[in-house]
């Protein structure tokens, strides 16, 4: 299995923003599926202070060739000054699922 499939993580300030972003990514065929994990607590350093916020985490399933467009869509629709964008290579998994992703993203 090659690393043609990617899992991209980002967080949003709330579930509504997460839904807007997820729907845009799927509608534009930039993601085959986006999972939203609502009400996640994040503790992080921002502007020299420890901050704590309730956020929504997105797990974006996509292909390598769509990755840069996913980045640009996140940046354009996101309310954060510095949105999280982290990418994990998918090394292996259910081949039938990857076949479905190929169909959806073409």
What's the pLDDT tens digit per position in 71-91? 999 999 999 999 999 999 999
Instruction: Report pLDDT for 1.
Output: 44
The strand pairing partners of 5, in sequence order, are 63
Q: Give me 84's structure tokens.
A: 């999280």
Contact 104, 21 (CB under 8 A): no
Among 32, 28, 29, 37, which residue's Cα sits nearest to residue 9? Answer: 37
Contact 70, 25 (CB under 8 A): yes
Q: In what order do the strands lie in the sheet with 86-89?
A: 33-46, 49-63, 5-12, 86-89
CATH topology of domain 5-105: Alpha-Beta Plaits (3.30.70)
59 pLDDT higher than 50: yes
Distance CA 78, CA 25 (A): 12
Contact 64, 43 (CB under 8 A): no
What ranges do the domains of the chain cover? 5-105
Residue 95: band (very low, low, confident or very high) from pLDDT cuts 50, 70, 90: very high
Instruction: Report pLDDT for 103.
Output: 94
């Amino acid at each position: 299995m090659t690393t043609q499939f990617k899992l991209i993580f980002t967080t949003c300030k709330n579930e509504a923003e997460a839904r807007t972003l997820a729907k845009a990514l799927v509608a534009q065929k930039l993601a085959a599926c986006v999972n939203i994990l609502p009400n996640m607590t994040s503790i992080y350093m921002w502007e020299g202070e420890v901050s704590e916020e309730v956020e929504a985490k997105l797990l974006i399933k996509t292909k390598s060739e769509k990755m840069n467009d996913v980045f640009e869509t996140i940046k354009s629709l996101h309310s954060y000054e510095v949105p999280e964008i982290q990418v994990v290579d998918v090394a292996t998994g259910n081949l039938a699922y990857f076949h479905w992703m190929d169909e959806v993203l073409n």
